[in-house]
Amino acid sequence: MKLTNEEKTAAIETSLRVLSNYNQEKGSLIPTLQQIQNELGYVPSPAMEVVAEHFNVMKVDVYSIVTFYNQFRLTPPGKNQVKVCMGTACHMRGGNIIMDSWKRRLEIDCGETSEDREFSLDRVACVGCCTQAPVTLINDEIHAKVTPTRVEGLLYAYQLDKDKENKKAGEDN
């Protein structure tokens, strides 16, 4: 996925601002990366360069941290983040079938963002609602007892919301 020039500038500016609040001790390395991801939604390559310079380490060291921990994303998330729980309880109740349904409907693989950047699809390991398995998170909302038909329903509801928004935008103009 190619970053636009604005995205690159935003990445560098945000990183510099975040870093100005931290000292150069290595113990602050992961917290700064977390902060950058909180603000941008991901840790882009230009941000890693800025961080490496601040802590006086090589860029590959930062890269190896970002790729080691599951929390960090390398690509911008979609406007809507779909996360399917793949924890034990959800797996036992067909979490993989739900994941397949999302893949099929969004036409992307787990870990990817759709071309129009409307959706990204990820897996999570247990959100602690095992009693409601299988669950899918859309943005931060938890949907319990999801079935393939509910996947269709959830997407349909999203489509309706979007149509409404577009219509509203149309009226405002």
Partner 1 sequence: MVGAATCGRAAGAQNITKVIRDELASRQIEATVIEVGCMGHCYAEPLVLIQKPDNPTICYGYVSEGLASMLVREFIAGDDPCIEFALAAMEVNDFIPTFEDFPRGMVEKKVVMQHCGIIDPENIDHYIANGGYEALAKAIHKSGEEVVSEIKTSGLRGRGGAGFPTGVKWETCRQFKEDVKYVICNADEGDPGAFMDRTLLESNPHQVLEGLALAAHAVGASKGYLYIRAEYPLAVERIEKAINQAEESGLLGESILGTDFNLTLEIFQGSGAFVCGEETALIASMEGEPGIPRHRPPFPAEAGLWGKPTVINNVKTLSYIPHIIRKGADWFRETGTPDSPGTAVFALAGKVINTGLVEVPMGVTLSQLVYDVGSGIDGGKQFKAVQIGGPSGGCLPESFLETAIDFDSLNQAGAMMGSGGMVVMDEDDCMVEIARYFLDFTQNESCGKCTFCRLGTKQMLEILERITKGEGALEDIDTLLNLAKNVKTGSLCNLGKTAPNPVLSTLKHFRNEYEAHITEGRCPSLMCLNLIAYYILPDKCERSCDACIGSCPVESIFSNEDRIKVVDQEKCVKCKSCMDACPPQYSAVVKLSPPELVQEKENDNG
List residues binding partner 1 (CB under 8 A). Answer: 26-31, 34, 55, 64-65, 68-72, 86-89, 91-92, 94, 97, 100-101, 104-105, 124-133, 135, 142, 144, 147-149, 151-152
The two tokens of residue 19 are 């870093």
10 binds, among partner 1, ligand FES, none (CB under 5 to 8 A by kind): none
130 sits near ligand FES (criterion: CB under 6 A): yes
Task: Work out how close the CB of 99 gets to ligand FES at its nearest, in angstroms, rounded to a whole number.
Answer: 12
Q: Which residues pair with 137 in a beta bridge?
A: 83, 142
Integer Cα distance of 98 and 154 in angstroms: 12
Q: Which residues pair with 145 in a beta bridge?
A: none
- Residue closer to partner 1 by CB (options 69, 159) is 69
Q: Give the residue from 140, 71, 134, 139 showing the smallest Cα distance to 100.
A: 134
Backbone angles phi, psi at 40, to 5 degrees: -100, -20
The two tokens of residue 72 are 């960090």
Q: Give the residue from 33, 38, 42 showing the smallest Cα distance to 120.
A: 42
Task: Work out how close the CB of 80 gets to partner 1 at its nearest, in angstroms, rounded to a whole number.
Answer: 19
- Residue closer to ligand FES by CB (options 8, 123) is 123
Question: Which chain residues interact with ligand FES by CB under 6 A?
Answer: 85, 87-90, 126-130, 133, 135
